[in-house]
Amino acid sequence: MHPWNRSTEISTGDPEAVCAGERGSAALEFIVVGLLMLVPILYLIAALASIQGQSLGAEAGARHIARAIVTADDVDHAEERAEAVLASIAEEYGLDRDEVAVSLTCRPASAGCPAAGATLTVTLRTAVTLPLVPPVLGLDRAARIPIEATAVQKVSRVWGLG
């Protein structure tokens, strides 16, 4: 018989005997491959959910702090309101208060920030530790995703006069 024609040979014996070596392995393969694919996908979903939640918190914090400052009566009141907003946002979104850094800049640069007529930019920076990363050998510090959010608000020209 020619070697290319081997596929045309048909066993006349029992068809179950031909497939006996393959019986039951498909289910086992499906379970093993399914678990190997499912675990990383579930971890990816958990990690992305954590990052998204912290990103939303950072964005909300920057936006609400900017609004609280520009609607305050004076610098002291603005600082007090910004701290209250930051504490509320940190509690609501689960931000680590020690890891949150807020910076304010004004344009045009003036003696103080915020100032009447200036454009206030609030930048909030934090970092998310990926879930299930143990604090062994500093792995939790290595598995951190930095997050930054910025909000811009125009300060009224009569801000601080009233």
Which tokens belong to 110? 């003036």
Q: Reduced to 3 states, what is the DSSP secondary structure of residue 12?
A: coil
The residue among 61, 68, 136 whose CA lies nearest residue 102 is 61
Among 9-13, 68-72, 155-159, top mean pLDDT goes to 68-72
pLDDT band at 117 (very low <50, low <70, confident <90, very high): confident
Could you report the per-residue pLDDT of 70-98, keeping only the tens digit for each?
Answer: 998 888 899 999 999 999 999 999 888 88
What are the beta bridge partners of residue 128? Answer: 145
pLDDT band at 121 (very low <50, low <70, confident <90, very high): very high
Q: What percent of the chain has pLDDT over 70?
A: 82
pLDDT, mean of residues 114-136: 90
User: What pTM does this model have?
Assistant: 0.74
Which tokens belong to 72? 């305050």
